[in-house]
Structure 1
Amino acid sequence: MSWPATIFLGILIVNIFFGIIIIFREQKSAQATWAWLMVLFFVPVIGLIIYFVFGRELRNSSWNEDSLFKTNALLLHQREEIQEETLYRNSPSMDGLESLIYMHIHHSHAPLTYAQSVDLLTDGDQKFESLFNDIREATDYVHVQYFSINTDELGSAFVQLLTEKAKEGVQVMLLYDGLGSWKMSNRFLKDYLNAGGKSRVFFPPRSMFTYGSLNHRNHRKLAIIDGSVAYIGGFNIGDKYNTDDRGLGFWRDSHLRLTGSAVHHLHDQFISDWNKGQKEPAPEFANYEVPVSSSLKGGVPMQIVASGPGFETDQVKNGFIQMIQQAKRYIYIQTPYFIPDFGLLDNLRVAIMSGIDVRIMIPNKPDHPFIYWATYFYIGELLRLGATIYIYDKGFLHAKTMVVDDRISTLGTTNMDVRSVSLNFEVNTFMYDEEMAEKMRETFQNDLVDCHELTLEEYEQRSKWIRVKENIARLISPLL
């Protein structure tokens, strides 16, 4: 046998081997499995490299979510309350939502808790002014976690503020994603570290050679200050989030500022992420437990739900599906990317065909072209069934929200795409409060001033080249 034939046969055997791994060892969806098999089949050598960098499953128990949370005692107590039918007593806002709350308590490691106040922040100036002011007032600790921290003017001011608090003796801990914050370095953090601040990188790019892949990113954005104030939402740290970006324009996002008992549960999420991948828990949190008072009633009832490759199921996506199934009148969704799996897509189809008013708002300008064209394809499917689609024209819409029937709302870090619900580490609030849901609906309606409605006629008139791009993007959407 000639050398070229031998090499070709070797490549074929290796591809077959990795194909068997994908099918039998890794728990990928059928969509993702077929997509990766196509990659290995059509681009044998390059496909192997792409699979090694992006395709492998997370297989390290130290990254498991469940074992790191500090709410086991509270969860056990609330499960007993469910059996005794006392958990929802005197809580009319949760009537009819018992199945959603039950699912998150039993399968999402998310106890029912309450926020004394909830502020909805919808532009960067508003969010960063509030966050910086709260950090300045900190006396005990500042624990912050972001997917992306840029080393620009705002990012530098943010790190400088953390440095000042560390010099004051406040415990400051900074967690950031290794790829999303790839410009961060010990040199950039030198003054912060010298002042006593602590930092940790979540999944540095080199981790793909050991226990993960570049697809497993920590996309969460959290800040917890003195156990009394917490932030969660879509804003990262950088100039483009509070100024008009040259390419994308105005950055439209949504964030929450919470006070009250719910803060302890966001802190629990931060601690869980800080301890991930470590042999021993950080000494600062070795004896930490979420206080029983975190379930005290009063304020906005909610559950803090995490999802990611460390869980067996897609917890946030399951919450989305339950919300859709609960709808009787309307479903309003804002998302920068809309690439749903079969479960989400089918439930939205059924909702539309059942006469429910389904409205989805997406950005006009893409920051990821393939994802944008895949979004356009799936939006078209729902548009043909009768959904109302709005295109946000003012800039880039990055908000990740859904509100149903003025009863349930969710806001967090999770996009409605396969990557976000299955591969990334994400976290969302699920809120069971009419006033909060009405506020979310009004925000959606206020954004319509900066939108145009995508009609079916306009959609059907798109060019053949756009249709080709849509179909190519759809085929590789499980890999996006």
Structure 2
Amino acid sequence: MSWTEFLILSILLLNIFLGLVIIFHERKSAQATWAWLMVLLFLPVAGLIFYFIFGRELKNNPWNENSLFKTNALLRYQREAFAKRTLIRNTPSFEGLEGLIYMHLTHNHAPLTHARSVDLLTDGKEKFEALFEDIRSAQDYVHLQYFAINTDELGGNFIRLLTEKARQGVEVMLLVDGLGSYKLTNRYLKNYLNAGGKVKRFFPPRSMFSYGSLNHRNHRKIGIIDDGIAYMGGFNIGDKYTTENDNLGYWRDSHLRITGSAVHHLHDQFISDWNKGRKVGSHEFHSYQVPVFSSLNSGVPMQIVASGPGLEHNQVKNGFVRMIQKAKHYIYIQTPYFIPDFGLFDNLRVAILSGIDVKIMIPNKPDHPFIYWATYFYIGELIKLGATVYIYDHGFIHAKTMVVDDQVSTLGTTNMDERSVRLNFEVNTFMYDEAMALRMKETFQHDLAHCRKLPLEEYEQRSTWIRIKENFSKLLSPLL
């Protein structure tokens, strides 16, 4: 046997072996399994490389743990109270939401808490002015987590502010995604580190060789300031979020500024992420205590739900599904990427066929071409069933929100696509408050002024080239 024949046979056997691993060992969805099998079949060499870099799952390693150190006592108390029907008794705002609350409480490590105040921030300048002001006022600590921090003007001002606070003796901890913030090197952070600031990179690319693939990113954006203020939502750090971008235009996103006991649970999530990959936890130096009971009769009741690869349930996605299932009147969705798996898509389909008013708002231009055209395919299928789809023309809409029936709403980092619900580490806030739901609804309606409706007739008249891009991207959608 020649070396060429031996090499071809070895590649063939390795492809067969990986195919068997995907089918019998890894817990991928049926769509993702078939997609990877097709890649290995048609791209024997390149497919092996792609699978090694992007396809492996996270299993039995510290990155996919979701331990919340400070909320365990509260979770035990609330689970017992729910079983006794005393947790949400005589609370009209929870009517019909018991199943959603139970699921998050029992399976998703998400206690029911409340925020004393919730500010909905939909403009980058507004968000960063508020965040910078809160950081300047910090006395004890500033704990921040972002997927992407750019090294541009806003990113530089952000790091200089953190450096100044570290010099003042404030504990500053910065957690970033190892790939999303790859430009944020120790050399760039030299002054910050010398001032006493701490930085950690979640799942840096080099960890791929020992833990998994480059596909599993920490997409969460969390900020905790002095145990009294929390931020979470869709904005990263960079100029494009506050200025007109040449390619995408105005960046329209959504973020929350939260005060009250809900801050403790976002803080716990930050600590959990900070400790991932460490043999010894470092949470002991945080002195705050999560109260075993907090009143649900004041402020905005909410549950903060985190999801990630390797966890038993698709926590945030299951929350989406339960919200859709309980809808009686309307479902309003904003998302930059709409590539739902079968469960999400089928529940939306049933809602539309049941007469529910389903409105979906997506961008008018792609920041990721394959994802955009896969989105176009799926929204087309829902338009045919009776959904109303709006194309946001004022720039790029990156908000990830859903509101149902003036009763329940969710906002966070999770897109309605395979990457968010299966591959990334995400976090969403589920809010059980009529006033908050009405605010989210009004924001959606305000954005309609910058949208155009995509009618079925226009969608059906799309060019052959667009149809080809749609169908090709649909095949890749489980891998996007």
Shorter-chain TM range is over 0.9
Q: Aligned AA for 2:388? A: T
Deviations 1:385-429 (A, max 9, x none): 000000000100000000000000000000000000110000000
2:112 corresponds in structure 1 to 112
Deviations 1:96-122 (A, max 9, x none): 110000000000000000000000000
After TM superposition, list the pairs within 5 Å mapping 1:307-456 onto structure 2: 307-456=307-456
1:127 aligns with 2:127: yes
Contact 2:57/2:310 (<8 A) preserved: no
After TM superposition, list the pairs within 5 Å mapping 1:182-331 onto structure 2: 182-282=182-282, 284-285=284-285, 290-292=290-292, 297-331=297-331
Identity %: 74
Cα distance in 1 for residues equivalent to 2:128 and 2:279: 35
SS at match of 2:13: helix
1:67 aligns with 2:67: yes
SS at match of 1:104: helix
Q: Aligned AA for 1:377? A: F
Q: Gaps (5+ residues) in structure 1? A: none
Indicate how the Cα distance of structure 1 residues 310 and 11 shifts in structure 2: closer, same or farther if over 3 A, else same. Answer: closer
SS at match of 2:161: helix
Cα distance in 2 for residues equivalent to 1:248 and 1:43: 33
Cα distance in 1 for residues equivalent to 2:446 and 2:226: 34
SS at match of 1:389: strand
SS at match of 2:365: coil
Divergent runs of 4+, >4 A: 283-289, 293-297
2:13 corresponds in structure 1 to 13
Cα distance in 2 for residues equivalent to 1:450 and 1:82: 43
TM-score w.r.t. the length of structure 1 is: 0.98
Contact 1:261/1:295 (<8 A) preserved: no
Q: Aligned AA for 1:426? A: E
Contact 1:261/1:296 (<8 A) preserved: no
SS at match of 1:210: helix
Contact 2:336/2:398 (<8 A) preserved: yes
Indicate how the Cα distance of structure 1 residues 407 and 131 shifts in structure 2: closer, same or farther if over 3 A, else same. Answer: same
Contact 2:364/2:393 (<8 A) preserved: yes
Contact 2:77/2:292 (<8 A) preserved: no
In the TM superposition, what is the alpha-carbon distance from 1:84 to its structure 2 partner?
1.1
Deviations 1:442-461 (A, max 9, x none): 00000011000000000001
TM-score w.r.t. the length of structure 2 is: 0.98
In the TM superposition, what is the alpha-carbon distance from 1:65 to its structure 2 partner?
2.9
1:142 corresponds in structure 2 to 142
Contact 1:309/1:423 (<8 A) preserved: yes
Range that drifts further, 295-304 or 379-388 = 295-304
Deviations 1:178-223 (A, max 9, x none): 1101111001111111111100000111111110211000000010
Contact 1:364/1:393 (<8 A) preserved: yes
Cα distance in 2 for residues equivalent to 1:434 and 1:296: 14
In the TM superposition, what is the alpha-carbon distance from 1:311 to its structure 2 partner?
1.3
Q: Aligned AA for 2:278? A: Q
Indicate how the Cα distance of structure 1 residues 279 and 297 shifts in structure 2: closer, same or farther if over 3 A, else same. Answer: farther
SS at match of 1:331: strand
1:479 corresponds in structure 2 to 479
Indicate how the Cα distance of structure 1 residues 449 and 358 shifts in structure 2: closer, same or farther if over 3 A, else same. Answer: same
Cα distance in 1 for residues equivalent to 2:54 and 2:297: 44
Deviations 1:21-69 (A, max 9, x none): 1111111111101100110111011100000000000024322333344
1:85 corresponds in structure 2 to 85
Cα distance in 2 for residues equivalent to 1:213 and 1:150: 23
Structure 1 vs Structure 2 CA RMSD = 1.2
Q: What is the aligned length? A: 480
